[in-house]
């Protein structure tokens, strides 16, 4: 089942998948409104969507031109679609003015509320909250109805699963249901009715799936993400209000998310950076390593990934892609710092890969973030078994290159499942670290074959990296073989 879902959702970029999910939510809203199932005006919703779309995209184009950067239009489309799910679906003049203001503020926040090249606050939440302060509109989150929950929940589940952040979304939902449900129960309601009503009538599922896990504002480490989700849950669930001059500040989902964004910024302070292409080398006939010199120090840990933004006339996979870093963290320091990524370069590759391959040495590429928790145990004495499918070896190359540079002694077995017969990418890096390298055919990847190749696997921590289908098979095989606490890193793209 996992392989089927990944195969379907992996056909498009994360941005495109989000657009599709939001479009489905809005289409369902129009349908149910037309049938009288939910109390919204379908024509008002379409009018409001049109105004928000024009305002958001127009403001983004103008701001990008002033900032002399290439606008990220798909991100603006997502922002506009989210805003349309939060504001009153009305064609009344003042409601449309408020909707336009929300779109403009959302777009401008990406350029004005920034820290070293990265926006801090969720744009849609910012636009709706600021527009609400003016009294022109208010966030009503009309999508929070029983009839809308199935499509909202399905879209949220697909997005959280694709980004492997289901635990973050579930944490938010569970905490909100528990806190508000307990308060409602204490007023005399039955526990079942209280907790179910929170899940159905509050916009917590939409908030968790479509907004909380926005990658730009979410901190990089898992514990930081859990902390952010917990803060948003508390701010969402505990009522408060206080005046600030003529304005009343009060509890709302959008304000709760903005508070979480501020906490996320405080614990991570991530920033974007530029990479200058210094050269490439062939890893195999179908795989290439790209080497870059960062324009500023880039702190990262072995096993993490970075997201590259390459503006161009993009295909369906978009202008941003995620790649595991293949070089050692210590190689990014010193007089000649270097950051490397390795990737497949098929003949009919994506527009992003074609654009990347066409870059000349000296070209600058924007990196928007470094993130990930796919890290080796801190204790070098703990033995590990690493299962790599094809280009999925790149995080292990980074980890073992760092092991070699530090002179650490680790007990490591790398099980490589080549994409092509005999093709073990980064074999020199793996063996230079002292790791034992084992090859297995894809059809032979099982608990039995792993136990035969690694007889002491039961005392090792397991790691598996590669394409989603390979990761699913490798995780099952490692668990069947008895490996401890298996961790995964799926190359689903973003």
What domains are defined for the chain? 2-268 (no CATH), 273-371 (2.40.30.10), 384-490 (3.40.50.80)
What confidence tier does 126 reach under pLDDT thresholds 50, 70, 90?
very high
| pLDDT per residue as tens digits for the range 388-439 | 998 999 999 999 999 999 998 999 999 999 888 878 899 999 999 999 999 9
Average pLDDT over residues 364-374: 86
pLDDT at residue 6, as a whole number = 63
User: Is 276 within 8 Å of 362 (Cβ atoms)?
Assistant: yes
In the predicted structure, residue 136 carries a pLDDT above the cut 70: yes
Q: Give the three-state DSSP class for 259.
A: helix
Tokens representing 202 are 């509050």
Helix (H) or strand (E) holding 324: strand 320-324
Helix (H) or strand (E) holding 375: none
pLDDT at residue 114, as a whole number = 83
> What's the mean pLDDT when you consider all of the chain?
90
DSSP output for 294-306: ESS-----TT-EE
Q: State the sign of the Cα–Cα–Cα–Cα dihedral 150, 156, 159, 165.
A: negative
Residues in the chain: 494
What confidence tier does 216 reach under pLDDT thresholds 50, 70, 90?
confident
CA distance 342 to 393: 9
Q: Give the three-state DSSP class for 84.
A: helix
| Full-model pTM | 0.79
Average pLDDT over residues 174-193: 92
In the predicted structure, residue 85 carries a pLDDT above the cut 70: yes
| pLDDT per residue as tens digits for the range 259-279 | 999 999 998 866 678 899 999
């Amino acid at each position: 089942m996992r392989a089927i879902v990944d195969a379907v959702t992996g056909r498009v970029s994360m941005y495109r998948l989000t657009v599709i999910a939001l479009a489905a939510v809005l289409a369902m809203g129009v349908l149910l409104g037309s049938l009288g199932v939910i109390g919204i005006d379908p024509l008002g919703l379409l009018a409001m969507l049109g105004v928000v779309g024009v305002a958001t995209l127009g403001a983004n184009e103008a701001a990008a031109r002033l900032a002399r950067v290439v606008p990220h239009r798909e991100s603006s489309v997502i922002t506009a679609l989210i805003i349309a799910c939060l504001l009153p679906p009305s064609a009344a003049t003042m409601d449309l003015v408020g909707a336009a203001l929300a779109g403009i503020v959302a777009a401008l926040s990406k350029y004005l509320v920034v820290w070293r090249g990265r926006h801090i606050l969720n744009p849609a939440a910012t636009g709706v909250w600021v527009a609400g302060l003016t009294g022109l509109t208010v966030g009503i989150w009309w999508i929070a109805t029983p009839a809308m929950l199935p499509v909202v929940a399905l879209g949220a589940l697909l997005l959280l699963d694709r980004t492997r952040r289901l635990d973050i979304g579930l944490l938010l939902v569970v905490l909100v249901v528990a806190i508000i449900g307990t308060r409602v129960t204490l007023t005399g309601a039955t526990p079942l009715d209280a907790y179910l009503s929170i899940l159905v009538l509050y916009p917590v599922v939409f908030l968790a799936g479509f907004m909380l896990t926005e990658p730009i504002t979410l901190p990089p480490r898992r514990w930081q993400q859990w902390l952010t989700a917990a803060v948003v849950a508390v701010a969402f669930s505990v009522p408060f209000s206080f005046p600030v001059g003529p304005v009343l500040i009060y509890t709302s989902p959008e304000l709760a998310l903005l508070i979480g964004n501020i906490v996320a910024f405080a614990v991570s302070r991530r920033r974007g950076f530029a990479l200058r292409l210094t050269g490439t080398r062939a890893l195999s006939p179908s795989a290439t390593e790209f080497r870059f010199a960062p324009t500023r120090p880039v702190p990262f840990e072995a096993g993490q990934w970075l997201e590259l933004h390459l503006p161009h006339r993009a295909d369906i996979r978009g202008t941003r892609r995620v790649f595991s870093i293949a070089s050692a963290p210590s190689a990014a320091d010193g007089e000649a710092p270097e950051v490397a990524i390795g990737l497949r370069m098929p003949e009919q590759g994506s527009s992003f890969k074609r654009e990347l391959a066409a870059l000349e040495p000296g070209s600058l590429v924007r990196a928007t973030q470094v993130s990930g928790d796919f890290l080796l145990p801190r204790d070098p004495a703990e033995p590990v078994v690493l299962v790599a499918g094809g280009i999925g070896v790149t995080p292990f190359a980074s980890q073992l290159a760092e092991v070699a540079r530090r002179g650490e002694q680790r007990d490591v077995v790398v099980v490589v499942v080549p994409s092509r017969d005999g093709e073990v990418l980064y074999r020199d890096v793996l063996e230079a670290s002292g790791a034992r390298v084992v090859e297995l055919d894809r059809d032979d990847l099982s608990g039995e074959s792993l136990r035969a190749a690694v007889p002491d696997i039961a005392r090792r921590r397991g790691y598996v990296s590669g394409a989603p289908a390979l990761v699913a098979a490798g995780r099952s095989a490692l668990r069947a073989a008895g490996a401890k606490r298996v961790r995964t890193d799926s190359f689903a793209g973003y």
